[in-house]
Structures are given as C-alpha cells and as structure tokens.
C-alpha cells in the first residue's frame, strides 16, 4: 500500500470523526435552530452544486479539445473546488453568526469545515505529486 493511499485513508477517518462530533453538537440545538441551520446550508449547497456541475462541464470541454495540459487542468479544477468550498464555508458561517447561534456550535462548525478543507488541500497536493511523479508499475 502506498503512502499516499494511507494519507488519504487517515484524512477520510479524520473527516468522519469531525462529522460525528459535529452531528452531536447539532443535536444539542433547538428545533428552530436546526431548521435555520438547514436553510442556511441548503441555499449555499444549491449554488455549490450548480457551480461544481458547470466547472465539471468546462473541465470536460477543455480536456476533450486539449486546450491545456491535463495536469494543469486537473490542478486548476481542484483549486477552484477548494476556493468554492472556502467561500461557501465563510458565507454559511456569517449567516449562522447573524442568527445568534451558540459559540460552541460555531466552533464545531468551523472545526468540521477546516478539517474538510484541509483534506481537500492534502488530496490536491497528493494528486499533483502523483501526476508529476507517477508510481512505477509493479
């Protein structure tokens, strides 16, 4: 098993652990706050999905017409996903803060999102490294 595979598995375990902690904190919120949380996340998730689909279509069009090197194209695609995720996190956090959510919940939300963004960055670095130095076939 390669080291990159192990790193990805550790990152996924870290994301699952932070999600579990986040769900426990969400359960402590009142029913009204849970509804507000879902509404805040839903509006940005819809925008996130639309933009990701558009980015993927652009990725496929550019890849098929070979305007750019696939390594550069993949790197740009992953960086755009990271930037979009960061922007959505900030907007959702600000909306939740405006609605007077508890500081313990806001900390848990930021922790989960930070772990997710860190995992995206690590996977981006691993993908770029594997593209530049592919492993030898056994």
pLDDT at position 68, please?
A: 65
How far apart are alpha carbons 101 and 32 in whole angstroms? 11
Domain spans in the chain, listed from the N-terminal domain onward:
31-132
Contacts made by residues 76-79, CB under 8 angstroms, sequence distance 24+: 78/120, 78/123, 78/124, 78/127, 79/124
User: Which of 135 and 59 is assigned the larger pLDDT?
Assistant: 59
With cut-offs at 50, 70 and 90, classify the pLDDT of residue 136. low
How far apart are alpha carbons 115 and 17 in whole angstroms? 10
Q: pTM value?
A: 0.64
Please determine, for residue 40, whether its predicted confidence score (pLDDT) is greater than 70: yes
pLDDT at position 104, please?
A: 80
Please determine, for residue 47, whether its predicted confidence score (pLDDT) is greater than 80: no
User: Which of 50 and 32 is assigned the larger pLDDT?
Assistant: 32
pLDDT at position 67, please?
A: 67
pLDDT at position 36, please?
A: 84
């Amino acid at each position: 098993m390669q080291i990159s595979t192990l790193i990805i598995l550790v990152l996924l375990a870290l994301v699952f652990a932070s999600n579990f902690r986040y769900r426990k904190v969400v359960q402590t919120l009142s029913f009204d706050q849970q509804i507000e949380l879902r509404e805040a996340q839903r509006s940005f998730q819809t925008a996130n999905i639309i933009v990701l689909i558009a980015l993927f279509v652009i990725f496929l069009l550019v890849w098929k017409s070979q305007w750019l090197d696939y390594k550069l194209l993949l790197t740009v695609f992953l960086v755009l996903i990271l930037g979009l995720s960061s922007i959505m996190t900030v907007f959702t956090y600000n909306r939740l803060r405006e609605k007077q959510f508890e500081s313990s919940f806001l900390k848990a939300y930021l922790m989960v999102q930070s772990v997710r963004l860190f995992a995206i960055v690590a996977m981006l670095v691993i993908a770029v490294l594997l593209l530049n130095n592919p492993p030898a076939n056994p």
